[in-house]
A and B are shown apart, each in its own frame.
Chain A
Amino acid sequence: MAQTVDARQALPERELVPSPPVDLGAAVKWGLIAGMTAVFVSAIGMVQAFEVRSVVVGVDLGYLVLFGAALVFGYAAARPGEQLEGFLAPERGVRNVAAGLIAGLVGGAVLWLFVLLIGAVDIRSVFPSVSPQLRDLLTFGRGAGFAAAALIGGFGLVGALGGGIPVLPERIRAPLVNALAWVLAFGLFEDLFAQIFRGAKVPFLEDLLYQPGGGLSLVGALIVFVLFFAVYLSTASRRETVRSRIATMSPSERRRWVGVGLVVAIVILAVLPQILGNFLSEVFDLAGIFLMMALGLNIVVGYAGLLDLGYVAFFAVGAYTTAVLTSPGSPRWSPEMTFVAALPFIVLAAAMAGIMVGTPVLRMRGDYLAIVTLGFGEIARLLFLSDWLKPYFGGAQGILQIPPLELGPLTFRSSLDFFYPIYAFVLVFAYVSWALQNSRIGRGWMAMREDEPVAEVMGVDVVKAKLTAFVIGAILASFGGALFAHKIGSVFPHSFQILVSIVVLVIIIVGGIGSIPGVVVGALILVGAPELLREFAEFRYLIYGVLLIFMMLKKPEGFIPSRQRARELHQEEMMQDAWLRKEEEAAAAAGS
Chain B
Amino acid sequence: METGADRGGDGRRPILELRDVDTHYGPIQILKDVTIEIYPGEIVCLLGGNASGKTTTLKTILGYVEPSHGAVFLDGEEISGLPTQERVRRGISMVPENRRLFKRMTVRENLEMGAYLRDDREGIEEDMERVFELFPRVKDRLNQRAGTLSGGEQQMVAVGRALMARPKVLLMDEPSMGLAPVLVAQNFEIIEQIHEQGTTVFVVEQNANMALSIADRGYVLQTGQIVLADTASALLENPEMKKAYLGELE
Chain B residues positioned under 8 Å from A446 (CB to CB): 102, 105, 109
A459–B162 CA distance with the chains assembled, in angstroms:
11
> Would you list which residues of chain B between 105 and 157 have a CB under 8 Å from chain A?
105-106, 109, 112-114, 116-117, 143-145, 148
> Would you list which residues of chain B between 79 and 123 have a CB under 8 Å from chain A?
83-85, 88-89, 93-94, 96, 100, 102-106, 109, 112-114, 116-117
A204–B62 CA distance with the chains assembled, in angstroms:
73
User: Closest residue to B146 on the A side, CB-wise?
Assistant: A450
* B117 CB, min distance to chain A CBs, angstroms: 4
Contact A450 B148 (CB under 8 A): no
A443 CB contact (under 8 Å) in B85, B93, B112: B112
A461 CB contact (under 8 Å) in B85, B100, B109, B144: B85
Contact B143 A568 (CB under 8 A): yes
Tally A-B pairs: CB < 8 A.
65
User: Closest residue to A460 on the B side, CB-wise?
Assistant: B116
User: Closest residue to B96 on the A side, CB-wise?
Assistant: A454
Contact B100 A454 (CB under 8 A): yes
Known A443-B109, A444-B116, A572-B145; judge A456-B103 contact (CB<8 A): no
A455 CB contact (under 8 Å) in B83, B89, B93, B113: B113
* A244 CB, min distance to chain B CBs, angstroms: 16
A456 CB contact (under 8 Å) in B85, B89, B109, B161: B85
Chain A residues positioned under 8 Å from B117 (CB to CB): 458-459
Chain A residues positioned under 8 Å from B203 (CB to CB): none
Chain A residues positioned under 8 Å from B144 (CB to CB): 568, 571-572, 575
Known A443-B109, A454-B100; judge A459-B88 contact (CB<8 A): yes
> Would you list which residues of chain A between 566 and 585 have a CB under 8 Å from chain B?
568, 571-572, 575
Chain B residues positioned under 8 Å from A443 (CB to CB): 109, 112-113, 116
User: Closest residue to A447 on the B side, CB-wise?
Assistant: B113
- B30 in contact (CB, < 8 A): no
* A444 CB, min distance to chain B CBs, angstroms: 7
A455–B85 CA distance with the chains assembled, in angstroms:
10
- A256 in contact (CB, < 8 A): no
Among A443, A453, A454, A459, max chain B CB count under 10 A is at A459
Chain B residues positioned under 8 Å from A461 (CB to CB): 83, 85
Scoring A residues 429 to 457 as 1 if CB is less than 8 Å from chain B, else 0, what string do you get? 00000000000100110110011011111
A454–B84 CA distance with the chains assembled, in angstroms:
11
A459–B117 CA distance with the chains assembled, in angstroms:
6
* A304 CB, min distance to chain B CBs, angstroms: 14
A468–B72 CA distance with the chains assembled, in angstroms:
31
Contact A450 B105 (CB under 8 A): yes
Chain B residues positioned under 8 Å from A454 (CB to CB): 96, 100, 102
- B165 in contact (CB, < 8 A): yes
* B64 CB, min distance to chain A CBs, angstroms: 8
A461–B89 CA distance with the chains assembled, in angstroms:
11
A458–B87 CA distance with the chains assembled, in angstroms:
10
Chain B residues positioned under 8 Å from A458 (CB to CB): 88, 113-114, 116-117, 161, 165
> Would you list which residues of chain A between 5 and 55 have a CB under 8 Å from chain B?
none
Contact A447 B89 (CB under 8 A): no
Scoring A residues 241 to 252 as 1 if CB is less than 8 Å from chain B, else 0, what string do you get? 000000000000
Chain B residues positioned under 8 Å from A459 (CB to CB): 84-85, 88-89, 116-117, 165
Contact B103 A450 (CB under 8 A): yes
Chain A residues positioned under 8 Å from B96 (CB to CB): 453-454, 457
A450–B105 CA distance with the chains assembled, in angstroms:
8
Known A447-B113, A450-B103, A451-B100; judge A457-B94 contact (CB<8 A): yes
**What interface size band does chain B fall in?**
20 to 34
A81–B84 CA distance with the chains assembled, in angstroms:
52
Chain A interface SS verdict (over half): helix
* A45 CB, min distance to chain B CBs, angstroms: 44
Chain A residues positioned under 8 Å from B148 (CB to CB): 572
User: Closest residue to A463 on the B side, CB-wise?
Assistant: B83
Chain B residues positioned under 8 Å from A571 (CB to CB): 143-144
User: Closest residue to B84 on the A side, CB-wise?
Assistant: A456
A568 CB contact (under 8 Å) in B85, B102, B145: B145
Chain B residues positioned under 8 Å from A456 (CB to CB): 84-85
Scoring B residues 155 to 174 as 1 if CB is less than 8 Å from chain A, else 0, what string do you get? 00000010001000000000
Among B89, B93, B105, max chain A CB count under 10 A is at B105
* A464 CB, min distance to chain B CBs, angstroms: 9
Chain A residues positioned under 8 Å from B83 (CB to CB): 461
* B194 CB, min distance to chain A CBs, angstroms: 17
* A236 CB, min distance to chain B CBs, angstroms: 29
Chain A residues positioned under 8 Å from B103 (CB to CB): 450
Chain A residues positioned under 8 Å from B113 (CB to CB): 443, 447, 455, 458
A457 CB contact (under 8 Å) in B84, B89, B105, B143: B84
A458–B105 CA distance with the chains assembled, in angstroms:
14
User: Closest residue to A448 on the B side, CB-wise?
Assistant: B102
User: Closest residue to B145 on the A side, CB-wise?
Assistant: A568
Chain B residues positioned under 8 Å from A444 (CB to CB): 116
User: Closest residue to B147 on the A side, CB-wise?
Assistant: A450
Chain A residues positioned under 8 Å from B114 (CB to CB): 458
Q: Which 10 A-B pairs have the closest CB atoms?
A: A459-B88, A459-B117, A450-B102, A459-B85, A454-B100, A571-B143, A458-B116, A459-B116, A461-B85, A458-B113
B residues contacting A by CB (< 8 A) are 62, 83-85, 88-89, 93-94, 96, 100, 102-106, 109, 112-114, 116-117, 143-145, 148, 161, 165
A-B contacts, 7 listed (Cβ < 8 Å)? A443-B113, A444-B116, A453-B100, A458-B114, A565-B104, A572-B143, A572-B145
